[in-house]
Chains A and B, each alone.
Chain A
Amino acid sequence: MIAARGVADPTPAYYPGCSLDGLGNPYEVSARQVLAHLGLKLERIVDYNCCGATEVKNLSHDVSLALPSRNLALARARDHHEVVAACSGCVYSLARANEAIADEPTRMRINALLEEGGAPTYDGGASVQHLLEFIYRRAGPERVRAAVRRPLTGLTVAPYYGCLYTRPRCYTGVGKLAGTDDPIHPHFLDELLVACGADVARDFRAKTICCGGGHALSDLDVSVAFSASILAEARRAGADLVATICPLGEINIENNLDRVRAAYGAEVVRPVAYFTQLMSLAFGASLREARLADNFSRPDRLLRSRGFT
């Protein structure tokens, strides 16, 4: 069951996920700055737990549903109807739980687990969306444009959406529900970046290919090859840097940079930054405030050379 988007929920719940409290922290910090500038409010889920990503389901179906369900139950306990997650992996597994618990026997099994573990039970009703979709729908390019103080003029950005932001629509509802992005040719990120004054690499064809992050550690050659192909395509499309919307994609590409450089040449490498970092920069934050020096690919160096401080 996919709850309809846009149920009147003035302050949706915010599910941070492990990464935003860990390696992906620059994403969270910059996202908060962006939301504050746009006057958007989210309420953080207190005492959330890991969503299980795509790994847990390979070992236990019930555990892979109980983990996200506990978070959705916490959101419902605070009377939220919408949950916003910044990580595409979290969006996938939270939305997957929503679909699975529409089946009554499954819901009863999962709720028994939640009850036994001392958590509130979950009967559906919390629709899940990505932070990008939330910003696009609630603020939109117009309000973003109005908030820009220092346009990203002269910067060509490759908008990289990755796998699980839209896919699969049977879980995420993207392309199925009104007001969601296009699952084959997503464009929300393109529009927000243009509103920030950046040039978007229009012909960037690696928008939704896999980054190899699923096997970032367990199948190195494959994940390096995918990271390299995204960067090489960004180069071909004339981009200066790649904007990401998922901490797994960001960290996987950055973690592979040395190997990409060794195997495919230094000219392929581009810095990678979270889209909220670029938006925050356009809204007037300094490179330091937007935490751009914290990314392992050091987008701050490129941006400084382009006159940003």
Chain B
Amino acid sequence: MPIVEKSLVEVDRNDSVKLDGIDVSGDWSAFLRSRVVADLDPCILDWVKDQPLGSTITRCWQCGTCTASCCLHTDYGMAEFNPRYFLYLAKIGYATELRRYTNTIWRCLSCNKCVERCPKGVKVEEVVHAIGRYLRVTGAAPESPADRFDRAFTENLLDRGILDEVALFRTYERLEGRRTPLREMLRMGVRLFWSGRLRTGPFANRTRGWNRMREVLRARLAEDERRALSTASPVRAGAGGTR
């Protein structure tokens, strides 16, 4: 399914033009180069739209309201974080271009401004996470810090039913190979202890009667992960290449 992009502007050829003694002759309107994209991978859209998180992707009209609203794009100024473009690339299946953003897509902060403002009811934040997940389960993207955090968070809360914030902080620091200095940890620990908030480890809050629920939800979590892996075909070598 080749998609052809060509110059949409009439050729504006100017020969032998000199401005202040500098030769500026040439094609003045050639800012859109003709090119052909071959081997687009339709599996990407099929997979994303079959996910509960990604199901609204096909409603997208590419108006760009999400990108204009995006706090990362607009407030923080991360120009390459462009949710409209991510949805576009996933829809046409342009895998090589999408892979250039493997270290960008995971940075969505879930502020939901895009979902709030989308005129077509696309749950952009969820779709962007589904696209990120596609890249990860197909091996196109390594596990990102956000993936590791999501996993640590989920495992932590499934354990007792209630999140152990202090343990989550320590687990995640270990995963990233970071270490808060011991003095800092002690200072924090003492403050939490005196204000009755050091509810971690043996003193952590727990949900009574959680054991059965934990096993049920853990099983569903593993099943969903398996299904995500088995339904996503690996990104084809050379898919989405240009010529």
With both beta carbons as reference points, the residue of chain A lying nearest to B144 in the complex is identified as: A218
Q: Which of the 9-residue segments B26-34, B38-46, B193-201 touches chain A?
A: B193-201
B113–A167 touching, CB < 8 Å: yes
Q: What is the number of residues of chain B that contact chain A, defined by CB distance less than 8 Å?
A: 65
B213 at the interface (CB under 8 A from A): yes
Q: In residues 157-205 of chain A, which contact B (Cβ within 8 Å)? A: 163-164, 166-170, 183
| B71 and A55 contact, CB distance less than 8 A | no
* Interface segment, one of A59-67, A237-245, A267-275, A278-286: A59-67
Verify if B145 is at the interface (C-beta below 8 Å from A).
yes
Who on chain B is nearest to A48 by CB? B207
B151 (CB) vs chain A CBs: closest residue: A59
CB contacts (< 8 Å) of B197 on chain A: these are: 22-23, 25, 294
Knowing A170-B121, A214-B110, say if A59 contacts B225 (CB, 8 Å).
yes
Contact present for B220 and A113 (CB under 8 Å)? yes
Residues of A within 8 A of B151 (CB): 59
Kindly state the separation between the CA atoms of A59 and B136 in the bound complex, as whole angstroms.
Answer: 12
| A26: chain B residues within 8 A (beta carbon) | 195
CA distance A229 to B163 in the complex (A): 29
9-residue interface stretch from A78-86, A114-122, A127-135, A137-145: A114-122
Contacting B at CB under 8 A, from A188-228, are 209-210, 212-215, 217-219, 222, 225-226
- State whether B224 touches A167 (Cβ < 8 A): no
Report whether A116 and B154 are in contact in the complex, using a CB–CB cutoff of 8 Å: no
User: Which of the listed residues B112, B158, B165, B205 has the most CB atoms from chain A within 10 Å of its own CB?
Assistant: B112
A-B contact pairs, 23 of them (CB 8 A): A18-B162, A18-B205, A23-B192, A26-B195, A47-B207, A48-B207, A50-B163, A55-B150, A56-B157, A59-B150, A59-B224, A60-B224, A61-B224, A63-B220, A63-B224, A92-B112, A113-B216, A118-B213, A167-B112, A183-B116, A215-B146, A218-B144, A296-B191
Q: Are A168 and B224 in contact (CB under 8 A)?
A: no
Which residues on A are within 8 Å of B, measured CB to CB?
18-19, 21-23, 25-26, 47-50, 52-63, 66-67, 70, 92, 113, 116-119, 163-164, 166-170, 183, 209-210, 212-215, 217-219, 222, 225-226, 229, 291, 294, 296
State which residues 52-76 of B face A: CB under 8 Å. 52-53, 71-72, 75-76
Is B107's CB under 8 angstroms from A215's CB? Answer: yes
A55 and B176 CA atoms in complex are apart in Å by 18
B-chain residues with CB within 8 Å of residue A209 when the two chains form the complex: 71, 75, 111
Kindly provide the distance from the CB of A258 to the nearest chain B CB, expressed in whole angstroms: 9
Q: Is the CB of A168 within 8 A of B205?
A: no
A50 to B169, CA, bound (A): 16
Write out the residue numbers on chain A whose beta carbons fall within 8 Å of the beta carbon of B192.
23
CB neighbors of A among B169-196 (8 A): 169, 172-173, 176, 191-192, 195-196
A183 to B113: give the CA distance in the assembly, Å: 10
User: For the complex, what is the distance from the CA of A70 to the CA of B126, rounded to whole Å?
Assistant: 22
Most buried by A among B116, B151, B221: B116
